[in-house]
Amino acid sequence: MVQPSFLRQLPATVLIVLLLALPRLALACACGCGVFSVGTSSMLPSTLDNGTELFAAVDYLDQTRDWSGSSSAPASANADRNIRTLFQTVGVQTFFNRDWGLRVDLPYWQRHFATLDAAGDPVSFDHGALGDIRLTGIYAGFSADRSSGLMFGLKLPTGDWTYPGFDRDTEIGTGSTDLLLGGYHQWKFGAEGSWSGFAQAMADLPASSREGYRPGNELDVAAGVYPQGWALGAGMRLTPILQGLVSLRQHDRGINAAPADSGYRRVLIAPAVELAWSRLRVDATLAAPLYQHVRGFQLVAPWQASLSVSYAL
């Protein structure tokens, strides 16, 4: 969860540019995992002081429902039966001074993929490997309280994209180097600033392709509000968070891609709760789709979950 801050004028280059890009990014791998990179405490400065934060996160996505357009589809239209993934990430976020910081995400994915082979027989594959490492710079110097900031960096092609049995859009790695560009804003409102809010966006723009596959551009947006929370004693505080998530992705390209069956638009409601105790924070989020539109025939998940733990040094 983001920490309370005072309302400041939004810098013109933060979210406005990204939101203007929505129509062009409205059309994706079968995963939809980019939405896990925004929301609650993800990538946002948690203190006005310079410092370092260690974090670990576990995200879960089980894609079991056949979908086409904005409604369910018959299973016979899609050879894929199940894509179940456990995303595990550790990393560090540090600020070198009041304005500039760096975040490093080291992911490890475990994926189960069930599909039909060319003969129509069911087959399944299980694989765990290092994912694509993300290096993200943070500029928070627009205001004294760091209520607004920009994020920019690279997603590196470190993940395995050659595992036998997986399609290119279900591989753990994309094989591409991607540009990351995002922004955030935090504010207070209500009587005596008793409520806080936040908005965050992150665009993932592949800058290269690998062996006939280029993933689609993706834009993920989160916005939420939360009260001051409840003191539980012994320095603990429990805070509920109500947030919405939007995930937009273009179709994949290349001779090894499936452009007719990739790309989507998703809107999710994602209530969360944070437990803070001294330097330790634990965030839990459960998200469910309110609307989703996919291109062609794809598997979607009825819900997704996230759990993160961070410790400020």
Q: 153-184 pLDDT, tens per residue?
A: 999 999 999 999 999 999 999 999 999 999 99
Residue 7 in domain = no
Confidence of residue 98 (pLDDT cuts 50, 70, 90): confident
Residue 10 in domain = no
Cβ contact 213:205 at 8 Å: no
Cβ contact 33:159 at 8 Å: no
Q: What angle do CA 18, 215, 85 make, to 5 degrees?
A: 100
* Total domain count, the chain: 1
Residue 3 Cα to chain centre, angstroms = 19
- Say which amino acid occupies 51: G
pLDDT digits (tens, 9 = 90+) for 246-304: 999 999 999 999 999 999 999 999 999 999 999 999 999 999 999 999 999 999 999 99
Mean pLDDT of 216-228: 94
Domain hosting 277: range is 15-312
pLDDT of residue 40: 65
- Say which amino acid occupies 220: D
Percent of the chain with pLDDT over 70: 85
What is the CATH classification number for the domain harbouring 275?
A: 2.40.128.130
Lowest mean pLDDT among 161-165, 187-191, 303-307: 187-191
Mean pLDDT of 199-208: 95
Residue 8 in domain = no
Residue 57 in domain = yes
Residue 5 in domain = no
pTM for the structure as a whole: 0.87
CA-to-CA distance for 17 and 80, rounded, in angstroms?
36
User: Over 90: is that where the pLDDT of 19 sits?
Assistant: no
Q: Is 159 helix (H, G, I), strand (E, B) or coil?
A: coil
The residues near 225 (Cβ < 8 Å, ≥ 6 apart) are 195, 196, 197, 241, 242, 243
Residue 75 in domain = yes
Cβ contact 103:92 at 8 Å: yes
11 DSSP 8-state letter: P
